[in-house]
Amino acid sequence: MTNHRLITVLLSAVALLAAAPAAASAAAASDPQFAAQEPLRILRVADALDEVAQPLADVPVLVADTGLDLTHPDISPRLFSLPAATPAPTVEGLPNPAPTIPAGAHGWDLIGNAPPDTPFQPDADPSDVGGHGTMVAGILGADWNNGQGGAGVAPNARFLALRTCWVDDDCYQNVQASAVPWAIARGVRVVSFSWLADPADDDLVPIVKANPSVLFVTIPSGNGENGADVDAESPYPCNIDAPNVLCVSTSSPTDGLDCGGSGATTVDVAVPTQNNITTTNGGGFTPTGCATSFAAPTAAGLATILFGIDPSASAADVRAAIVDSARSVPAWQGKSVSGGIADAAAAVALFQQRRGIAPRSPSGTDPTTTTTPPVTRPPATDRTAPNVRLAIVESTRLRVTLSEPARVSIALQRRARCRGGRPCWKPVGRARTASLPRGATTLRLAPNGLPRGQFRVVVRARDAVGNAATKTLAFRGPR
């Protein structure tokens, strides 16, 4: 069992920048601190809800963390309730047979009050005794229009309350691997991870790949990276090669890099986290500083809105709408897959276009004359990512075979030792981009050959309408 430390979140009361009046949008929340929630303004959340063509369906979500304040006025109205009695999730240390959770309960505590590295003592109370889970949950889906605090990104989130981490911000990945399938079986569509894990323990990989209808939102680094390139470290679980993983970092209030890491192949999109308002244990509220822990639930909230528009969508559909509609900004060019910052209104517009859903028509207008707001990328005429095959030819050449023309990014990396002596991948030269035709193209990897060692090449291909695929090939250098 490997111990994994959650990101320590340092909250600071920072001056709020001037914001455009939220009342300009019909969907703006009436909560007293909503106008001070700068990330919601930057993301255009209220504008996005104005675009939604029909009432949002409630979407069950899982914040895999230290539990939830079940009595918080912004959390308790949004709790999921089990429709029928069901066996508790089974995890190491749980009595066998598993106890039954009664109908109407909100969840389960998988670990109990025992300290880490001792037998678990699971119980029926998933209350948050550390505070981290309540804070990240408030970012994702704090209740709207209840006259208290602020609002979360998604007014349609329903929290399945599972405590999977200890009060001192320790998580065990095998606990998450027990909690997540149980939550998915209860209907969860979005799973938000605000912690980092060791790639040596790959308990989550088969779960992610076996559940393409569920979006897993995660982060590439802890706080303090300040825009540093983390591609070479191939951070887990961002590096899981699956279309239902969304990797999110932090952007500043002025659209720049912030406390989280960056990566042209690792980070999908950035979201702002500073100057928000979120929930705290005991029914309180607090302003936020930059924290990667808050990036995951921010993007997870946007995904929850999209699933609420069309619950039949796949996680790949939702992820593609978020990444493809990102607002392009100079600071993030070459620093993420999207090269920008999430835009909720553009994501809703693009998602509805791709799903064949007409946008809501403004009051008093003829719906046949309503136009869809522009998005940063064209709507897809298909939802199929390019098929990519890779092969090493004559030791120093790479053959890339594509099923359709695509813009391709090629990054060569060498196995090395990084922080704390942990194995990682370091870049060899700069990543290259090229527009390649359908079929096979052979490219030279290194003009002067490769030394002896273990290498890998990471190729990301994006077609004309934004569908993307990533392929990795590991190999050994000849000498």
According to the model, what pLDDT value does residue 282 have? Answer: 95
Query: What pLDDT does residue 472 have?
Result: 86
Sorted by sequence, the CB contacts under 8 Å of residue 192 that are 6+ apart come out as: 61, 62, 63, 64, 136, 140, 217, 296, 297, 300
The pLDDT, as a whole number, for residue 367 is 38
CATH of 3-369, one of 3.30.1490.190, 1.10.357.10, 3.40.50.200, 3.30.479.30: 3.40.50.200
% of the chain residues with pLDDT over 90? 55
Q: What is the mean pLDDT of residues 161-174?
A: 82
pLDDT for residue 96: 63
Half-sphere exposure of 54 (CA within 13 A, CB side): 10
pLDDT at 16: 28
Tell me what the mean pLDDT of segment 175-203 comes to.
87
Helix segments in 245-398, DSSP class H: 292-309, 315-324, 344-354
pLDDT of res. 467? 72
* pLDDT band (50, 70, 90) for residue 291: very high
Q: In sequence order, which residues have a C-beta less than 8 Å from that of residue 164 and are 6 or more positions away?
A: 64, 65, 110, 111, 171, 175, 176, 179
Where along the chain do its domains lie?
3-369, 388-477
DSSP 291: -
pLDDT attached to residue 212 = 95
pLDDT at 21 over 70: no
- Please tell us whether the domain made up of 388-477 is placed in CATH 2.40.50: no
What is residue 60's predicted lDDT score, i.e. its pLDDT? 97
Overall average pLDDT of the 147-154 stretch:
96
pLDDT confidence of residue 5: 36
Query: What's residue 465's pLDDT?
Result: 60
Nearest to 273 by CA among 257, 256, 250: 250
The DSSP call for residue 194 is -
Residue 239 pLDDT class (50, 70, 90 cuts):
confident
Residue 25 pLDDT class (50, 70, 90 cuts): low
- Tens-digit pLDDT profile for residues 331-388: 999 999 999 999 999 999 999 999 999 887 554 343 333 333 333 344 344 456 788 8
In this predicted model, which residue has the larger pLDDT, 463 or 315?
Answer: 315
DSSP of 425-474, one letter per residue?
EEE-S--EEEEE-SEEEEEES-TT---SEEEEEEEEEE-TTS-EEEEEEE
Q: Is the pLDDT of residue 81 over 60?
A: yes
The 10s digit of each residue's pLDDT in 417-459 is 877 777 888 888 877 888 888 888 998 887 777 888 888 888 8
Position 198 scores a pLDDT of 67
- Tokens 């090939």 correspond to 473
Strand partners, 280: 284
